[in-house]
Structure 1
Amino acid sequence: MGQPAVQKTPHFILEGEGDRVLSKKKLDELVRQVTGGGEGDGLTPDVEESVLTLADDFVDSVITAACRLAKIRPNTTLDIRDIQIILERNYNIRVPGYSLDEVRTVRKFQPAPGWTQKMNAVQAAKVMGKNDA
């Protein structure tokens, strides 16, 4: 009886600074890796701050949308497939190694109304042409 009825999951500890998803150190490592690691290569403080804010906003919007999707299902936990669906449908991002067949999204061709009318007129002209001959 000394154990609580529901086990709490441990909180995830961010490696970033404060409430950031990405730390300035990790961003600097990424920039050096992409640019070749030269001393003069780097981001200005304004650009660095903008990239960090953009990363925070992106993660926040993905998680918020995935939580809304999980809430539609009668489930109280966020599953990896909720995040996958949001990334694939909204951002066309597929994460290697986490692909699920049921998550695959197929975009259906939606013709413009003008094109549909034009094709209907062509079909009608074909039918009328056969009747005249």
Structure 2
Amino acid sequence: MNHSVLRLNVREGDGTRLVVALAGAMDWHTAPQLREEGMRLLAESPHLVLDVSAVTFCDSSGLSVLVQLRRHAQDTGGSVTLTSVPAHLVRLLEISGLGRVFLADGAGHFPERGAPPEPR
């Protein structure tokens, strides 16, 4: 059986912020891994920047984990933001109503669209 794979690679950190590159699928199979690793990383640093440029697929389970991580971070004075968001994920975030949550804070990067997020 061919299962989804998600790789997390901590690329940089400055004490209170970690940049984590995600590669692969964020789906029902990898959601527990993403939640566990995300919570562990938030315990190390209150602010996570998730580079999702290499995310190839995301379903509702992946979106749910992003929301859970963001909520946990905010409850503890931190943040979870996305950067280098590919077009397929921008579209999913917009359709689900999460575009304003993850993209409108200035952290989202829209290379495919070339336009900044709308103001809140």
Q: TM tier, shorter chain?
A: under 0.3
Q: Report the structure, 1 or 2, having the larger helix content.
A: 1
User: Which structure has the bigger radius of gyration?
Assistant: 1
TM-score normalized by the length of structure 1: 0.26
TM-score normalized by the length of structure 2: 0.27
Q: Report the structure, 1 or 2, having the larger strand content.
A: 2
